[in-house]
Chains A and B, each alone.
Chain A
Amino acid sequence: MSEVREVARKLLTDGTVRVIVGWEDARRGARPVFVTDPADTERLIFDTRCVHNLVTYLNPRRDNVAELGKIGLVVKGCDAKAVAGLLREAQLTRDDVVLIGVRCGGVLEEAELPKAASLSPENVAPRCYGCDNREPELVDHLLGESQPEPPRPVMTIDERVAALDAQPLEERWAFWTEQFSKCVRCYACRQVCPLCVCERCVAEKSRPQWIEAPPHPRGNLSWNITRALHLAGRCVDCGECERFCPVGIPLSLVNRKLQHIVAERYGYTVSDDPESPAPIGDYRLDDKQEFIK
């Protein structure tokens, strides 16, 4: 990881950025770190434990980060897509940030391991399988050697979505209402999401209160549907929402389903190109409308 440290040191030294956001090794595993002193760049690491999507620190909701000054951010391919998302929605200008891209061959499901482990079908984050942004183009620096394809997990997300799709409606309903009924409305999913940018979330709007605030199954369903819809065509599949969900709702399945929907209907896949218009807010005259009478 000498390359990342080198670039980081240079950026801090020549004053290009005031802070580098990357990962460091801690007692319980990898964790995000803010480096302002060029000397501290030695703490920076990048390995399969670097699961976190650090773009969440660019989210304007965290304006205390911006107060530190211009940021240098270490990003994986999936993270770069999130940066593009912020750029697309005018939440960031490209000059606000220097992107240090790292070539990534997939990460672990868990960050909290004392040592980096090589990836296997059992431990790889399922979302990494089939990653389409292993050579991010949006970044200022692209570092590291070319990595092998992430291994195929025991069960891919697509397979899990397909399995659900194959079930009868009532069983899907039972599955999801069961899952959502666990929700405690801690909103961790929202807090870690790099693209949940609203300062006042719709869930907290009271006049009118579209989404019932108490954590009961009905309000939970509304919340989860709304969360999913708000991310349709925006979600970069970084998996942070699911990773942080304290009750283990398989949010990545909903997110993936929405990716399928926009891909099948509009041929759209989320990329790190900030110029490509998002599918919601765009249209074509001949969009599919088989569900409309």
Chain B
Amino acid sequence: MSRIGVFICHCGENIGRTVDCEAVTEALKDHPGVAFTEDYKYMCSDPGQQLVKKAIEDNDLTGVVVAACSPHMHEKTFRRACDQAGLNKYMCEMANIREHCSWIHEDRGEATEKAVDITRTIVEKVKHNQPLESIHIPVTKRALVIGGGIAGIQAALDIADGGHEVVLVEKEASIGGHMSQLSETFPTLDCSQCILTPRMVEAYQHPNIKLHTWSEVEKVDGYIGNFTVKIRKKARSVNEDLCNGCGDCQEACPAKRIPSEFEAGLGNRTAIYVPFPQAVPNIPVLDRQNCTLFKGRRKGLAKDACGKCKEACLKDAIDYDAEDTFIEEEIGAIVVATGFQLYSIGREQPEGLKGYGEYGYGEVPDVIDGLQFERLASASGPTAGAILRPSDGKEPKTVVFVHCVGSRDSEKGISYCSKICCMYNAKHAMLYKHKVHDGRAVAFYMDIRAAGKGYDEFSRRAIEEDGAEYIRGRVSRIFRDGDVVKVWGYDTLSQEQVVIDADMVVLATAMRPQDGVRELAQKLSVSTDEHGFINEAHPKLRPVETNTAGVFVAGACQAPRDIPDAVAMASATGAKVLSLFSADELEREPAVAIVNENTCIGCMNCAKVCAYGAIEQREICTVDGHVCGHVAYVNPGVCQGCGTCQAVCLSKSVELQTFTDEQIFSEINALCYWE
């Protein structure tokens, strides 16, 4: 006979306000198998937990039900308490009478009745709980970092410095990410490349870091501590071992007018190219889409149309026939740091976004986005740092900066604040005024969001010291009128329409997650929000973990982030990974499936539905060692506990521990509506 203790929490007023906790206690008191009931203000508090422990000891309880909040909140807490009191922790379950009851109902009678039902159901479940032992699995102490921007670099360096190997995968030809494109960084105005480049080199040269650029994650199998990751090394057409980065191939390449991604379209590159001079590794990649030779091959020309780079290469490193290759890495933990892209607000839009016809982006050449302005302001950019407008190369005397383009605009598909625009707009206005002393910098803003160390001072400085004109109001239209770009705005403070004849307009467009993040998330079994940002496991308490154990998230792929945030998150993931790697074994919940060999007929339908390949066929022998058949066997190290095998088993020969048929059957029965 079970001796179950039922503990009803008031959660302050959170449960008690709508659920009559005393009535629930009373109702459970005489329930068969219940040996102890108690209600308490805060069961999760220390005295609350003491109460549970004492009751276990005093009453020799065989099971514990805590009727309180969601098990996602405090199941661990109470299981630990049971463990400390000498009760197997898997004999403890939670009845969710807060999220699923008191918070969603108003009527006290209904809520109380439901709370009783919920609690009784779990009591019935616990009667069939079994004392279980946790599972121990080995940990591969190697980390994978996806994305080689500042967040990925930082995470890789922290883990590598901690003494563990890191595989760093970057889809572009060089690491560095968006930070390498920036001119100067707020709020200190230090040169972005000057602080980033040493980190890039350090990552490249670190003995513990294995770098794969021009590579993507193809497939991820396994689970925490034991991932197998397949990486696609895209055909670079340049042998990384042979290339010495001399640049002769670029010199020789005849296709010189390809818009450079690094220059945000404001400069050109060749078809075989190193994205920027400080690239790491300093090894070019051949852009087959734009290469004369490959264009010819696609047209079916019998003879190669070019070959100048190969001719120019003294190391014979160029291989036109190179193909994508795949490598597999054994990995224990994964950090996702895939960063962001800017919302391109032109007419062509991906699903769910609308673009801004009224702002003329993509149609008026002197309407540019923030990243393009970074390149204009960058000493290494296409204008060598001179602010010159794209249409005619003249120095603009009036520049309008528009905040919140795309952001905070639920109509156009992005409801969130992109967080960094207020700061970089202030920076842009400053940089512009520093370079064009007689110029006019006008910024249209809705609110100035400058929460951060030195941030508000910085944005104030743009106004107070550098004379940027800040106008509170959104812009309605931007269009070209002869030589000027007309900006129709409104000053909500002086209550008047404002029309500015600008020479150039810079739009602070929203930050969006990179394309392909949803697909990557699917490979990793992590979830994304409606915008495609990767979901953290808990918005406050587990900000760098995901809902898949062993997968962590850093930087702007989780939400709009500035550099300090991204770096802090990266180091946090580093700490998480190092702590995971600090033990040789991991302890896991014993929620695994177990086969009843006596009734299993070995049809292997279970193996067909197992997403983890955890089930194999195993021969069974008679007493004298003679093989007499086969049954299914579940590898507990690989099993993740979904229970799909159990549902397809016709003979009911698999049981998922912690969710056994008997437990569920009892729960269904407890909800029996016969009165």
Contact = CB atoms under 8 A, between A and B. Distances in A.
Contacts of B609: 281
Nearest to A205: B652
B604 interface: yes
A97 B268 CA distance: 71
B605 A281 contact: yes
Nearest to B596: A200
Given A90-B602, A90-B617, A90-B630, A198 B651 contact: yes
A208 B605 contact: no
A198 B599 contact: yes
B665 A202 contact: no
A82 B653 CA distance: 23
Interface residues of A, number: 20
Nearest to A230: B650
Interface string B613-627: 000010000000000
Nearest to B669: A208
Interface string A272-288: 00000110111000000
A293 interface: no
Nearest to A198: B651
A90 B661 contact: no
Contact of A202 (B605, B648, B652): B652
Contacts of A89: 603-605
A86 to B, nearest CB: 9
B608 interface: yes
Contacts of A202: 650-652
Contacts of B651: 198-202
B661 A60 contact: no
Given A201-B651, A230-B650, A282 B599 contact: no
A197 B609 CA distance: 19
A191 interface: no
Contacts, number: 49
Nearest to B648: A281
Contacts of B599: 198-200
A278 B598 CA distance: 25
A202 B596 CA distance: 13
A66 to B, nearest CB: 11
* B603, B648, B653 pick with most chain A CB within 10 angstroms: B603
Interface in A188-212: 197-202, 205, 207-208, 210
A156 interface: no
Interface in A67-111: 89-91
B608 A277 contact: yes
B666 interface: yes
A90 to B, nearest CB: 5
Nearest to B128: A208
Interface string B643-663: 000001011110000000110
A206 to B, nearest CB: 11
Interface in B285-332: none
Contact of B661 (A198, A208, A278, A280): A208
A148 to B, nearest CB: 37
Contacts of A197: 601, 603, 650
B603 A90 contact: yes
A208 B601 CA distance: 19
A57 to B, nearest CB: 17
Contact of A210 (B598, B601, B665, B666): B665
A116 B287 CA distance: 77
B508 to A, nearest CB: 38
Contacts of B652: 200, 202, 205, 210
A282 B599 CA distance: 24
A225 to B, nearest CB: 14
B595 to A, nearest CB: 13
Contacts of B602: 90-91
Contact of A207 (B604, B648, B650, B662): B662
A278 B662 CA distance: 28
Nearest to A61: B601
Contacts of A90: 602-604, 617, 630
A277 B662 CA distance: 31
Contacts of A277: 608
B616 to A, nearest CB: 12
Interface string B586-614: 00000000000011011111001100000
B650 A198 contact: yes
Given A197-B601, A277-B608, A208 B648 contact: no
Interface string A226-250: 0000100000000000000000000
Interface in A215-232: 230
Contacts of B630: 90
A198 B608 CA distance: 18
A130 B573 CA distance: 63
Given A200-B651, A202-B650, A202-B652, A208 B665 contact: yes
Contacts of B617: 90
A210 B608 contact: no
B665 A60 contact: no
A60 B601 contact: yes
A23 to B, nearest CB: 28
A183 B668 CA distance: 26
Most buried by B among A202, A208, A278, A280: A208
Contacts of A208: 661-662, 665-666
Nearest to B660: A208
A212 B596 CA distance: 22
Interface of A: 60, 89-91, 197-202, 205, 207-208, 210, 230, 277-278, 280-282
21 contacts: A89-B605, A90-B603, A90-B604, A91-B602, A197-B601, A197-B603, A197-B650, A198-B650, A199-B599, A200-B598, A200-B599, A200-B651, A202-B650, A208-B661, A208-B662, A208-B666, A210-B665, A277-B608, A280-B648, A281-B608, A281-B609
Given A197-B603, A281-B609, 15 more contacts: A90-B617, A90-B630, A91-B602, A197-B650, A198-B650, A199-B601, A200-B598, A202-B650, A205-B652, A208-B662, A208-B665, A210-B665, A230-B650, A277-B608, A281-B605
**Ordered nearest first, which 10 A-B pairs have the shortest CB separation?**
A208-B665, A198-B651, A89-B603, A200-B599, A281-B608, A208-B662, A281-B605, A202-B652, A90-B604, A230-B650
